Structures are given as structure tokens and as C-alpha cells.
Amino acid sequence: LETSSAVVDAVARVRPAVVTVLNTQRAQRILTFWGVREIQPKSSGSGVIISAEGYIVTNNHVVENWQTLEVIYADGNKAPARFVGADQYADTAVIKVDGPVPAVAEFGDSTVLKPGETVIAIGSALGNFENTVTVGVVSALERSLDSGKGYALEGMIQTDAAINHGNSGGPLVNLLGQVVGINTAIVRGDQTSGDVAEGLGFAIPSAIASDLSAQIIQKGYVERPLLGIRYQMITPEVAGANGLPMEWGVYIYDIEPGSPAAQSDLQPGDIITAIGNETISAEISYINALNRHKVGEQVTITFWRNGRTLTTEVILAGHPR
């Protein structure tokens, strides 16, 4: 009964700050039997208001390709929203509404979460069921989730609180009514084995989301390091087919003029095998290894060239704005 009461109290505290995010995307032209048609895709997700100034945290994938954004508050009222900034590598975005907001949620400390702890997910399930509440536990911490885009979402909270399409961007809440995560993804099964899974939801921990959202509000973006190479990933299959001595790495096929790579000893044809102290592997992608360093930092790059393992020092730059 105590836990049930705590859940009710936590939901009452956070629910008014949860919004549905409506994304009308840029028009696309498609070829049909009757000729070229223009369609304007629409999608929806969730978000949570984090300041009285109207800033709302959601997922990058909820707002990407936006043309116009709108939010629906918990009481059903609507308001236009503008895009502030996003970081694809942590699937985090911030949008903003003008005027008074109905409520503001508070970030909690995700670093003190423990497996088995009760958590609550709130969001617009399937886009139609606004402010749906589900309850579960923290199943695990520090999970890594493959994005399918050459990098992993790291440090994720795994939970069995039901998360459905449309819940993305909504808060994961502790029993104190604090936001400890931003719900991001579900895994329904293993495509390789065909196994079907239930209760595998993942959330960005508040320790990451709060830091990134603060950067986005301040600067409009998250500063990520740039090496300045065009590359192809080396996997065990690629390595085996080409007789390479490593299983994982990054084959450089071009270097951007004026970039940190151009100012180092790296050359097209080199294969990067490590960045700093981290070796590129099945668990650590090139992008994740690079993103663990900061702009302006001097980093040792280990690479393979003509049968020799060499190193070079680079000072990482930021992405052009």
C-alpha cells in the first residue's frame, strides 16, 4: 500500500509536466502509379517540461525532420513549439513553448538508482493515449544499445515498465516524483535468433539528459569532437575477406583538408584501431570512442599501416557550425 500511494503521489507531481509532441515533418515527394505526389509525414512522441521558461526535453528521433512542432498539455490544450537543438548521439532534444506552462518536472539523480527500484513511465502511448502511466522496476543499469547507425546509446537504464511507440521522450520517474530518465527505446526481440522479448525498455539517465539539455539550452547544440576522416568500418567479416590482422577498426579512405586528421600523421589507407586507451571493438565503436573525448583535447590515435602499428597525436576540433 505504501508503494502504491507513493506511485500515485509521484504521478500526480510529474504528470502535469508531461506533453505530447506533434511533429509535422518536411514534405516529401514520392513516385506513385499516378505520378509524383507530395506527402507531409506526421509523427508524435512525448516530452517533459523542465523549466518555467518553457523548455521541454524529448528524444531527437521524435523531432527529427521537423517542419513545425506542437505540444499537447496534460489538460488537452495545445501550443506551438520551436526547435532549440538536439544531439543524435544521445538521442536527446530540447524544444520550447512560449507563455506560462502548467507544471515543471524536476530532474533526480540517476547515479543512485539500483536494480529492483520502482520506476514509473509516463507518455503518450501509440500517440493516442496521452499521459499513460506504467509501473515497473529498474532492470539493469549502464546498458549499451546499438542505434543501427554506427554508434551505441551508452549508459542506458533498462526497465520493464511498459514503453510503447509514442512514449519516446517521456519521463521515467522515481517514487519521489523526480525524472531519472528519458524513455527512448524498446527491444521486442533478437532479429538473428528470432526470439521475442517482453519488458525490455530503455531510458537515457537523467545524469546525461540534464547535462545535454543544459548545453543545448545554452548553446543550441552539444559540442562533439571531430577527427575529420571519411571511413569504412572494419568488421571481422571485412578483415577476414581482406587478410587484415585486426578484427575491428576504421579504414580511412579520405581526410578532410584542415581537419585534425590532416594535421597529424594519418593518411588515406590507414586503419585506426584505437583512440586514446580504448581499442575499437564490437562493444566500442569508433564514434563512441571518439565521443568520450572533448574538443581541444590531445588524443593518441593508434593505427595500422603496411603491417606496422603506429601512433600519432591529434588535437580534436569541434564540428563546424
**What's the pLDDT score for residue 165?**
78
**What's the pLDDT score for residue 291?**
93
Count CB-CB contacts under 10 A for residue 128. 10
Count CB-CB contacts under 10 A for residue 39. 11
For the stretch 245-258, pLDDT in tens is 999 999 999 999 99
**What's the pLDDT score for residue 193?**
47
CA distance 129 to 216: 29
Q: For the chain, which ranges sit under pLDDT 50?
A: 191-193, 196
Task: Check: CB of residue 21 under 8 Å from CB of residue 169.
Answer: yes
**What's the pLDDT score for residue 197?**
52
For the stretch 150-207, pLDDT in tens is 888 999 999 998 887 778 899 999 999 999 999 998 776 554 445 545 568 899 999 9
Q: 232 by DSSP, 3-state: which?
A: strand
* DSSP for residue 218: H
Global confidence as pTM: 0.87
Catalytic residue IDs: 61, 91, 168
**What's the pLDDT score for residue 83?**
97
- Among the listed residues 28, 18, 26, 99, the one whose alpha carbon sits nearest the alpha carbon of residue 68: 26
Residue listed under C-alpha cell 520493464: 160
> Is the CA virtual torsion 55, 59, 62, 65 positive or negative?
positive
Q: Which residues pair with 36 in a beta bridge?
A: 31
- Among the listed residues 183, 248, 235, the one whose alpha carbon sits nearest the alpha carbon of residue 209: 183
